[in-house]
Chain A
Amino acid sequence: MNWKMFNTRKALTPSLIAIVGFLTVCPVVMLVFGSFSEGIGAFGKFTLAKYIQSYTDPAFAGIIVNTVIFTLGSGFVATILALFLAYLNTRTNIPFKFLFRIISIIPMMIPHILFSVSWVLLLNPSNGLINLFLREILNLQNSPFNIYTLRGMILVEGLLDLPIAYLILAPAMAAFDVSLEESSKVSGASNLRTLTKVTLPVLRPAILASFILVIVRSLASFAVPSIIGMPGRIYVLATHIYRIIATGFAADYGMAAAVGMSALAASITLIYLYRYLTSESEKYVTISSRGYRPTLIELKNAKYPLFGIVGLLSFVLIVLPVLVLFYTSLVPYSMVPGAKAFSMMNWKHWLEVLRDPISLLSLKNSVFLGIVGATLGVILAIFVSYVIVKVRTPAAGLLESISFLSFSFPGIVIGVGFMWFFVRTPLYATIWSLLIGYIATYLPYGIRPLTSAFVQIHSHLEESSRVCGGGTFYTLRRIVIPLLIPGVVSGWILMATMFVRELTLSVVLSRPGTEVLAVQILRFAEDGLWGKLSALGIMMIFISTAIVIIASLIGMKMTRVAEID
């Protein structure tokens, strides 16, 4: 047939493996080499000095303890809350179920750094709004709450990872074979006994999987440890690495790499455990009674109190952070909301931000990275997903594994790895180094929705078009592309919003001239400029939201509204 096309097709998989392999494997390889090198200027000269220096540091044990407590604690908080919500939503007659969808999606749109800042603004010991309020009302000498503690970090990280845990647990709960519970009840067990003796044990693999994924996320988390941990002098691995390269004494990328290796190793181990558990849970939770809706448990008197908790959670997760930031951006300094505060409100912080050249530059850079980066990323994701779903050779399997590799890499560690690479190229300190790093780290976010879109395009849909008289390009235009657009749009939106808010990779790669929004916000936080921070933060949320809305509208325009079930 068409030999030229055949050859291009053949070359597609290897070239994609080369590109994606470079993006995901290169930083890791550079990290390993870097950790054994004498310094960023002396690459390749083998030494163990950096390892000895890092791991014999007397403070290191404390950092590991903090990290373990922080990650495990966040895992517990997020998983238990998610379990509670998933159970209420799938198995009881709790009212206003749409709230659960909102809880599971919207918080992902609020950047973690801003969420952390809003809790600092509420609960910091010197002028947190809740503390000020309680001090005024109860006439206290000292603030009752201090967010700058491990407990504070765990609470905020747990809330941030709640949506992820929920998205794992809710489907498992929904796919649960109800007859297992019914037989327990027929045997005379109460609802509570059935829950603890049957439901939870059967769901154990899913619960463990969610727990482990939250641990991986909190291990990689930088926003909470930097905004909440560092002011309280509580360091975890991520902030320890940051301290080595960004604050105080001269940046030591060799030591950062050596420390990063243990974070990377822990993360990869956990992800393998997670994969194992999810495959176990697929074996465990079977959908046997098809088309049979589980009977919902009647909550009776507990209905509205329980709903109250859900309502409060959604308020705390979604409304409160934005509200606090907006309020802070308008008042001259921290004060309890009231007549006095309202009389003093003005746009001073906003105007200052808009006059600050670095803030403006960071706005420009982040929007550029969001739009250009997501566009390039989605184009790459389209090809990768096509090969993963439609080519299905062993090479395509390899491509799939390396594409999802970056899921298990903590951002700051990858940042250090990329630093070792970029310093040797003209890309160093350019916006393109950030762009490449972003695409490498967030490629899976683009691939996921696109693989589902490709799976949906059954080969018969294309073949049928050919038989109906549509040539290759006609079929592409009228069948393949319209069916792909929803996947392209959601992949693009996911990547663009991730890029606009990106913090962990950027704190390593961003240099003067390539400031981005989240890094600028971190700088404001370090300097305690909460008003300016809040104004810039609200702008960031506004930009993300605008990107989502515009992209969805364009997507809807491009394809006629398809009712795809």
Chain B
Amino acid sequence: MEIRIKNLSKDFFSEGKRIKALSNVNLTIPANQIFTLLGPSGCGKTTLLRSIVGLETPDSGEIAIGEEIVWAKEKNIFVPPEKRRLSMVFQTYAIWPHMTVFDNVAYPLQTRKEAKDEIRAKVQKTLRFVQLEGFENRPATKLSGGQQQRVALARALVPEPKVILFDEPLSNLDAKLREETRKELRSFLTKLKITAVYVTHDRIEALSLSDAIAVMKDGRMVEIGTPKKIYFDSDHRFVADFIGRANLINGKVIAFEDSYTIVDSSMGTISCQKSPNASVGDAVTLCIRPEFIKVLETDTSEESNIFRGRVESLLFVGDAYEGEIVIADTRLITRIEPTTSVAEGDELILSFDPNHCFVLSK
């Protein structure tokens, strides 16, 4: 089901100060996609999610799920959370400690007063799906973190909702388990025809799980796009910086060539992706991801974007060196092949493909 959000605003009052949690948010979440709300803490992503599910009451605007308007200030509509027929996985999992795994998962069906055998069959099917078969009679608190997480997922899936909401569901797992669960979750969700709204502040989670990502800041939508669009070709400086490690370079457009834009910066003249929005003379910011900067053995002047710099610092992190290289007075973060023989203080020749250097328009 599609979720449409119109002009949604909400203010919080904290210590006498007014904080804009949501500021005139307009958003359409397409049906049957994994849609991620990404942003730093306090950006309003969780407030938006909780408004969709009905646990938070916005100040103004309208929320529609499918054909039904579930909340509209002006029309005085408020469908309480228990009537919205959505499912949600909480950050804390919210597993009820006084119930067994079976009762936790059966709960949504029990509230709908389904027949007992029907409930038993559905719970068993769902537990099989999340690989928790045989755990029915365990007290829910006697499970590991990862297992509790799957109980929470099973409970969300069992009523076969059209929409499922996730509030940072992986943030309480340790790093290794988080990676595994992420993969599992992706495969669970793609198997089902379901709209998933996923809130996270973890960019890797957002990139690897989502069909689309909406980046939020200070209660506003900044940019919406596919993971690749957001990573490789975002329009906003904030988004480019937030979604991954980035070298942001200030410069000025001096010319347009065939398929490139030529920008003058403190490290020299840089060719970058064509940007239709900029015109000659504009001040712009360029974004180059560290992994696209190559170290050259010799100065083959056939390549464009060739720079000489000095290695300021070098950190061996296993799969690469993380180096800081100074070109004139610009500092570039680079990832250097771990087998390269290089040391701090060395002079290096760097280059990068103009297609991987993009102009941020905002």
Q: A483-B97, A562-B97 are in contact. Are A464 and B82 (CB under 8 A)?
A: no
Contact A467 B88 (CB under 8 A): yes
Central interface residue in B92, B107, B142, B155, by most chain A CB within 10 Å: B107
- 20 A-B residue pairs with Cβ-Cβ distance under 8 Å, sorted by A, are A456-B97, A460-B90, A460-B92, A465-B96, A467-B82, A467-B88, A468-B111, A468-B159, A469-B85, A469-B112, A469-B159, A470-B82, A470-B111, A471-B82, A483-B98, A560-B99, A562-B99, A563-B97, A563-B139, A563-B141
Output the least CB separation between B139 and chain A (Å). 4
Which B residues touch A456, using CB under 8 A?
Answer: 97
Q: Is A463 in contact with B90, judged by CB distance below 8 angstroms?
A: yes
In this assembly, does B57 line the interface, its C-beta being within 8 Å of a C-beta of chain A?
yes
Closest A residue by C-beta to B50 = A463
Contacts A474-B111, A563-B142, A565-B141; A469 near B90 (Cβ below 8 A): no
The residues of B that contact A474 with a CB separation of less than 8 Å are 82, 111
| B residues in contact with A482, CB < 8 Å | 98
* Interface check B108, CB cutoff 8 A: yes
Contacting residues of chain B (73-88) with chain A, CB-CB under 8 angstroms: 78, 80-88
A291 to chain B, nearest CB (A): 13
B57, A1: Cβ atoms closer than 8 Å = yes
Question: Is the pair B139, A471 in contact by a Cβ cutoff of 8 Å?
Answer: no
Chain B 92-131 interface 0/1 with A at a Cβ cutoff of 8 Å (1 = within): 1010111100000001100110000000000000000000
Q: How far is the CB of B332 from chain A (nearest CB, A)?
A: 40
For A, the interface residue count at a CB cutoff of 8 angstroms equals: 25
User: Which A residues touch B94, using CB under 8 A?
Assistant: 458, 460-461, 463-464
User: Which B201-233 residues have C-beta < 8 A from chain A?
Assistant: none
Q: Are A469 and B82 in contact (CB under 8 A)?
A: yes
1/0 contact string of A468-506 vs chain B (CB within 8 Å) = 111100100011001100000000000000000000000
Cβ of A559 under 8 Å from chain B: yes
Please provide the chain B residues from 124 to 174 with a CB less than 8 Å away from any CB of chain A in the complex. Answer: 139, 141-142, 155, 159
State whether the Cβ of B197 lies closer than 8 Å to any Cβ in chain A: no
Residues of A351-379 whose CB lies within 8 A of B: none
Min Cβ gap B105→A in Å is 10
A564 in contact with B85 (CB, 8 Å): no
Q: Is the CB of A479 within 8 A of B81?
A: no
Q: Say yes or no for B55: interface residue by CB 8 A criterion.
A: yes
Q: Which 4 A-B pairs have the closest CB atoms?
A: A562-B98, A464-B94, A469-B111, A460-B94
Partner-A contacts on B (CB < 8 A) = 53-55, 57, 78, 80-88, 90-92, 94, 96-99, 107-108, 111-112, 139, 141-142, 155, 159
* Smallest CB gap from A562: residue in B: B98
A564 touches B97 (CB 8 A): yes
Q: Does A466 contact B (CB under 8 A)?
A: yes
Contact of B86 among A458, A460, A467 (CB under 8 A): A467
Cα–Cα distance between A461 and B140 once the two chains are bound (Å): 13
Taking CB atoms, residues of chain A closer than 8 Å to B88 are 464, 467
Which residues from B are CB-within-8-Å of A563? 97, 139, 141-142
Nearest A residue to B108 via CB reads A468
Minimum Cβ distance to chain A for residue B320 (Å): 32
Digit string of A425-447 for contact with B (CB within 8 Å is 1, else 0)?
00000000000000000000000
The complex places the Cα of A471 from the Cα of B82 at a distance, in Å, of 6
Given contacts A474-B82, A565-B141, 12 further A-B contacts (CB under 8 A): A1-B78, A460-B92, A460-B94, A464-B155, A466-B80, A468-B82, A470-B107, A471-B82, A474-B111, A483-B98, A562-B99, A563-B142
* Chain A CB within 10 A, most for which of B55, B57, B84, B159: B55
Which chain A residue shows the least CB distance to B78?
A1
B57 touching A467 by the CB < 8 A rule? no
> Distance (Å) between the CB of A486 and the closest chain B CB?
9
Q: For B81, give its contact among A467, A483, A560, A565 (CB under 8 Å).
A: A467
Q: How far is the CA of A496 from the CA of B185 in the complex (A)?
A: 51
Residue interface mask A108-131, B partner, CB < 8 A = 1: 000000000000000000000000
Q: How far is the CB of B17 from chain A (nearest CB, A)?
A: 17
* A-chain residues with CB within 8 Å of residue B53 when the two chains form the complex: 467
CB-defined contacts of B54 to chain A, threshold 8 Å? 466-467
Which residues on the A side are within 8 Å of B99 (C-beta)?
560, 562
The answer to whether B80 and A471 have CB atoms under 8 Å apart is yes
Interchain nearest-CB distance for A525 vs B (Å): 46
Interface residues of A in 532-565 (CB under 8 A from B): 559-560, 562-565
Q: CB within 8 A of B96: which of A461, A466, A467, A469?
A: A461
